[in-house]
Structure 1
Amino acid sequence: MEFKDSISDAFASCIERQQSSKPSVIVIGSGISGIAAAHILNNADFEVVLLESRDRIGGRIHTNYSFGCPVDMGASWLHGVCNENPLAPLIRHLGLALYRTSGDNSVLYDHDLESYMLFDKEGHQVPQQIVIEVGEAFKKILKETEKVRDENHHDLSVLQAISVVLERHQELRQEGLAYEVLQWYICRMEAWFAADLDMISLKNWDEENVLTGGHGLMVEGYYPVLKALSKDIDIRLNHRVTRISNGPNEVMVTIEGGRKFVADAAIITVPIGVLKANLIEFEPKLPEWKVSAISDLGMGNENKIALRFDNVFWPNVELLGTVAPTSYSCGYFLNLHKATGHPVLVYMAAGRFAYDLEKLSEEAAANFAMLQLKKMFPEATEPVQYLVSKWGTDPNSLGCYSYDVVGKPTDIYDRLRAPLGNLFFGGEAVSMENQGSVHGAYSSGVTAAENCRKLLMEKRGFLEKFQILSISDDAILEAAFPLQISRM
């Protein structure tokens, strides 16, 4: 199909197109949600064009190869290493290895406790027994917040609830070094949501449907998944969408520079941060119920500082952490050497601290991470390369993934994913049960594609049975290509 330059021209040939041409869809955003939607519709013999503002595909998935090995600077885990995960068939088919970092009992963390090593601000290792005891106390504190939730008709922040619990239960309070370890646990919880605990809804924080199998790090990065799904799709990079006009039978999408694309429908998978910033103009304007849904969902931020070294001078544990009097001042490094064999450490920061790091130059951010590392290991050598993410100020994302703010309306996800005429919505933010996850984003793209196809086929007067065309039969894949999982 030729994408026309004006919506009036499209209307003039509408009857001819319905009789003789394939249904056409514009997908906006080439994150895994958009690529999944385009993949589904392309396999269903639709005419599809995918518009991407960046010079690469993937969105908030970004596997960087400049170290000579894959390093995911965005999403890096498969949350739910099991056959029920919708991405499992493709990962099996591609033979991609996973490094499991936690078991089923990890709801808040993507790592188990036994592979941590924590240090205080003087560089002394925290005794493991203190780490274990404070971890158990933190579980009890979170359990007690359920009572606080039940007692209050209005929503509170998780931090407010923790304060109430500690007022009531003196035995759960921590002092000295144990208090700093508690702050580190809070720091890790904030990393899960990419937001500070005073921003996170007590009512909704534990509603996520966590799949079984624990959490698996993608050893070879997520790019091979994107590459497989994007095969044969017409992808236009450096095409930043500025306006979407939704007519009764057509959608016209305008990109920066004024070029226009017209199709029967569009699927919008841009990050919620971009929608919140009103970087795309809608005509007609979005209804108030859609605008408020976008406004009422939080957009979190988490950044990575990846450091590559010539030699490994750190212990063979998965996480190296620093405790402090506040969660803001705590931090941790992910040890990629243990999972992948490459001499790379990744410093991770979330919430307000992630935004503050973005105020620094990349060199200054790398120097900051090295200061934290040298507190733990004074003999640490200088990195030979570094990479720094800035998801919060990247105009293509304006954050990393969404979270439930205090007082979030109960129907927000229904409103976020609800179509508007010929417009459909995908992305991790519209996935109520798997918010912030790669498989949640993927599933939302599949759902948007299914709904889009049904509408367009109904408009053409028929709707044959629609089956998603996957790479091959899942049962065969499961038998021939089991998930490759390691745990060193």
Structure 2
Amino acid sequence: MDRKTLSGRDNFAISGIFLTHIERQQSSPPSVIVIGGGISGIAAARALTNASFKVILLESRNRLGGRVHTDYSFGCPVDMGASWLHGVCNENSLAPFIRGLGLRLYRTSGDNSVLYDHDLESYALFDMNGCQVPQQLVIRVGEMFERILKETVKVRDEHAEDMSLLQAISIVLNRNPDLRQEGPAHEVLQWYICRMEAWFAADVDTISLKSWDQEHVLSGGHGLMVQGYYPVIKTLANDLDIKLNHRVKKIVQRCNKVMVTMEDGSNFVADAAIITVPLGVLKANVIEFEPKLPEWKVSAISDLGVGNENKIALRFSTVFWPNVEVLGMVAPTSYACGYFLNLHKATGHPVLVYMAAGRVAYDIEKLSDEEAVKFVMLLLQKMLPDATEPVQYLVSRWGTDPDSLGSYSCDLVGKPADLYERFRAPVDNIYFAGEAASVDHSGSVHGAYTAGIIAAEDCRRRLLLQHGMSDLFQAVLREEMTEAMVPLQISRM
């Protein structure tokens, strides 16, 4: 609804709400509404609450965490959303919490892994006939794939216009016939492309050649959260003013205030708001802004891509699979490839998690839970004929979940380089956070967390200046537990 279309009665009612709030707040601390209860929103609310601001957090779901979701129905923690710490090092902004809580990490790759969250020796790959692919072939093709990717950098340097990574790979293979793979080697190459698509949660024909290798990855490799991410969420959210099942429909800016209207018509008013809802939700325009967001912000939201990755977790009564971290199926196309994460090796629980990205992830969401489980069990039984039926299963649907509408942001072909900066930039007293607002670490939990802290700090400074208050606070998360520099608990060193 445009401001010009409001009736005089509506304008009068809204102005009355704002004026009442202004009168109440004349001697009160600055107030902020945080929209979205994922780790970014919780981090922002935590920082501002620690700075003695009046903060309320609104979450549309009946739980906290957002795309961080640890399920306990198997009798053990299973992360159906984010599950890795990307960058197992003290420089990671989440390291102090993980260290302080004594949470264990299972390292699945070393420092040199940019595209994969597992080292090569941790795979057991099978073809469509159930024959295991020789490990030497897996390693040789992996090295060949790295050579192909290095050659794509030359293609990028030669072309002013962006193109898809798939198109660049095709150019490389046409120029270098010796890099072409045939037969079983071609199928293994497609599997590597499948794993690359999983990293971006997008298909290789949509991944930007210009941007695919520009991500800043922290040192230390990738660590699986053995006990899940929920303990981090729970600790950060302790004692915050949180309202679950509160779906935001409209945000109005007026008189240096922000009014947030719920689906049920109720309102909250504050000095500022921090929006941390997923990028997919913003792209769907389910939240109305008045006045409308400026064009530079709308185009940033529109041009940023949203990838999709889903998990089908299977709990079995016995372990019938080899003791490797990843079981993979090679095939003539990356779409037909697949892989299972072996949680038994990392956690000791008899659980396999099938992971699908891009078009495969969306196609799986078209199936019922039972059909999806049947589909992945057919793959598993081709690889391992002795596979038994699962005793329990879980299926994620991040692409069609109305509270996420995708998994995490990604770079699409031909889009401007400043999208993440424009996405995170505030619009007056409305601030933006979430993983898509992280310029250097988008798509990661620690990136989302850091974006929440940065938005809170920007908001804090503006409001203190606006209220003529001295800066007596440091909105930095320095809990007592972080002061004891105990080492991170990491297995598989």
TM over 0.5: yes
- Which letter does structure 2 place at the counterpart of 1:40? A
In 2, Cα distance between equivalents of 1:363 and 1:94: 37
Contact residue 90 and residue 471 of structure 1 kept, 8 A: no
Contact 1:42 1:233 (C-alpha < 8 Å) held by counterparts = yes
Distance 2:304 2:346 in 1: 34
Q: Which whole-Å CA distance do the structure 1 matches of 2:45 and 2:242 have between them?
A: 9
Of 147, 164, 170 in structure 2, the residue corresponding to residue 140 of structure 1 is 147
The one-letter amino acid of 1:221's match is G
Is contact 1:248-1:421 (8 Å) kept?
A: no
- Cα distance, 1:230 vs structure 2: 0.2
Spell out, residue by residue over 1:253-272, the C-alpha distance to the aligned partner (whole angstroms, 9 max, x if none). Answer: 01111111111110000000
Matches within 5 A, 1:41-120: 41-120=48-127
* Paired amino acid for 1:239: H
Distance verdict in 2 for CA 1:6–1:34, change over 3 Å: farther
Give yes or no for contact 1:251–1:265 (8 Å, CA) kept in 2: yes
Taking the aligned partners of 1:475 and 1:441, their CA distance within structure 2 comes to: 19
Given that 1:41 and 1:48 are in contact with CA atoms closer than 8 Å, whether structure 2 keeps it comes out as yes
Distance 1:15 1:308, change over 3 A: closer
Name the CA distance, whole Å, in 2 between partners of 1:262 and 1:39. Answer: 19
Residue 408 of structure 1 deviates from its aligned partner by: 1.4
- Indicate whether 1:294 and 2:301 are aligned: yes
Match of 2:221 in 1: 214
Separation of aligned partners in 1, 2:294 and 2:140? 51
Asked whether 1:184 is paired with 2:208, we answer: no
The residue aligned with 1:419 is 426
Match of 1:383 among 387, 390, 395: 390
Shift of 1:487: 1.1
Instruction: State the alpha-carbon separation in 1 of the partners of residues 469 and 377 from structure 2.
Output: 62
* Displacement of 1:10: 4.4
Question: For structure 2, which runs of at least 5 residues remain unmatched after alignment?
Answer: 1-11
Read off the aligned partner of 2:172 and give its amino acid letter: V
Aligned equivalents of 2:466 and 2:121: distance in 1?
Answer: 57
User: Is the 1:6–1:260 contact (alpha carbons within 8 Å) kept by the matching residues of 2?
Assistant: no
* Contact 2:304–2:412 (8 Å) recurs in 1: yes
Report whether the alignment pairs 1:483 with 2:474. no
Q: 1:185-264, aligned counterparts within 5 Å?
A: 185-264=192-271
Give the TM-score taking structure 1 as reference length. Answer: 0.97
Answer yes or no: is the 8 Å Cα contact 1:6–1:262 preserved in 2: no
1:456 alignment counterpart: 463
Quick one: percent identity of the two aligned structures? 72
**Which amino acid is 2:59 matched to?**
E
Between the aligned partners of 1:221 and 1:40, the Cα distance in structure 2 is 23
Amino acid at match of 2:206: M
CA spacing shift, 1:147–1:240, aligned 2, 3 Å: same
Deviations, residues 106-139 of structure 1 (Å, cap 9, x unaligned): 0000000011000000000001111011001000
Structure 2 Cα separation of the partners of residues 111 and 356 of structure 1: 25
Counterpart selection for 2:27 from 20, 25, 41:
20
Whole-Å separation in 1 of the counterparts to 2:14 and 2:34 = 17
Unaligned runs of 5+ in 1: none
3-state DSSP class of the match of 1:327?
A: coil
User: Whole-Å Cα distance in 1 between the matches of residues 265 and 22 of structure 2?
Assistant: 27
- Is the 8 Å Cα contact of residues 433 and 451 (structure 2) preserved in structure 1? yes
Find the aligned partners of 2:21 and 2:346 in 1 and give their Cα distance: 55
The alignment yields a C-alpha RMSD, in angstroms, of: 1.4
With structure 2 as the length reference, what TM-score do the two structures score?
A: 0.96
Q: Provide, for residues 131-185 of structure 1, a one-character-per-residue CA deviation record: whole Å limited to 9, x for no partner.
A: 0110010000000000000000000110000000000000100000000000000
**Is structure 2 residue 379 aligned with structure 1 residue 372?**
yes
Task: Please tell me whether the aligned partners of residues 307 and 358 of structure 2 are also in contact (alpha carbons under 8 angstroms).
Answer: yes
Letter in 1 for 2:399: G
Residue matched to 1:273 = 280
Counterparts of 2:93 and 2:212, CA distance in 1: 23
Q: Which moved more, 1:330-339 or 1:250-259?
A: 250-259
Pairwise CA distance, 1:469: 4.3
Q: Identify if the C-alpha distance between structure 1 residues 386 and 221 changes in structure 2 by more than 3 Å, giving closer, same or farther.
A: same
State the alpha-carbon separation in 2 of the partners of residues 388 and 278 from structure 1. 26
Whether the 8 Å contact between 2:18 and 2:259 is mirrored in structure 1 is no
Q: 1:8 aligns with which of 15, 19, 23?
A: 15
Return the offset for 1:377. 1.1
How much has 1:223 moved relative to structure 2? 0.2
Q: Which residue of 1 aligns with 2:42?
A: 35
How far residue 475 of structure 1 moved from its aligned partner, in angstroms, is 7.2
In the alignment, which residue of structure 2 is the partner of 1:304?
A: 311
The answer on whether the counterparts of 2:97 and 2:482 sit within 8 Å (CA) in structure 1 is: no
Deviation (angstroms), 1:400: 0.3
Whichever residue aligns with residue 482 of structure 1, its letter is P
